[in-house]
Structure 1
Amino acid sequence: MNIQLNPFILLEGTAKEAVAFYQESLGAQLLFMQTVGEGPQNPDAPLSEEEKAKIAHSVLKVGDAAIFVADLDKGQALRRGNGINICLTVEDAGDARQLYNALREGGEVVAELGPAYFSPAYGMVTDKFGVDFQIFTKRPR
């Protein structure tokens, strides 16, 4: 199994500022950025312009490594320990399920593993040690 580990920084509405800061301070190269408004919208729960402007996901290259930066989802609160988590990226949904099941043992499910518009198998867990993990499966090419 090939696993890619990426730090994932979650912020309360300051992700765009953080990206600019990391570009300046670390020489990070912006590879991808998507706002919440650029993603699919739920017509039954319209978002304000402020909410739409938040960063849903960004990828920065720092040297040979990548870091992810985003704003917390509506309704999520920053708490001690969830400002940075580890995103495990795999190519196979079966591998994602294996990692998800192993990490949730004795821990807590944050988001059930399942299909999302950006991944065929995505989920979040907090392990028994309080470490937050995102499990992300790449889309087949």
Structure 2
Amino acid sequence: MTLRLIPYLVMDGNAKEAIQFYEKALDAQVLFSQSFGEMPENPEFPIPKGTKDRISHATLKIGETELMLSDTFPGQPHQSGTQVTICITTNEKEKATKFYEALQEGGQVGMPLQETFFSPAYGSVTDKFGVNFQIFTEGEQMNF
């Protein structure tokens, strides 16, 4: 089993700029970057014109550490104080479910744990202490 806690920054439309900044400032290497326009289309969540270049997910390697970041989904509010989350990454769906269920006790679900195009089990929750977590399960071809 793998288990990692990765800082995840949620930006307000300036993730590309942040990536370029961290490349220079921290010698970061871009391991993965995908815009909203590169994602599979979903009629339930159409991407507004002019926002397809926003970053839906990126992973940077800084030394021995990874940093993940994205822009907010177009049309979603961005609130200072919630832009840093902890991404709990595992390769076991059962562990992801266990962590998700434990963290939601007394907390608030942001996104139910579910299969997505990028993960066999992904969800988000704010625990009872106000800490935001993303639960990400790696799939065989889904290493970001």
Aligned residues: 141
User: CA distance change for structure 1 residues 48 and 25 in 2, over 3 Å: closer, same or farther?
Assistant: same
Q: Counterparts of 1:43-122 in structure 2 under 5 Å? A: 43=43, 46-122=46-122
User: CA distance change for structure 1 residues 76 and 3 in 2, over 3 Å: closer, same or farther?
Assistant: same
Q: Give the AA of the match of 1:86.
A: I
**TM-score under structure 1 length normalisation:** 0.94
Deviation at 1:5, TM superposition (A): 0.8
RMSD: 1.5
Q: Which moved more, 1:117-126 or 1:75-84?
A: 75-84
Structure 2 counterpart of 1:4: 4
Distance 1:54 1:25 in 2: 21
**TM-score under structure 2 length normalisation:** 0.92
Structure 2 counterpart of 1:27: 27
Distance 1:85 1:5 in 2: 10
Given that 1:81 and 1:131 are in contact with CA atoms closer than 8 Å, whether structure 2 keeps it comes out as no
Structure 2 counterpart of 1:137: 137
Distance 1:12 1:51 in 2: 11
In the alignment, structure 1 segments of 5+ residues that lack a partner are: none
Q: Give the AA of the match of 2:9.
A: I
Q: Give the AA of the match of 1:94.
A: E
Q: Give the AA of the match of 1:78.
A: H
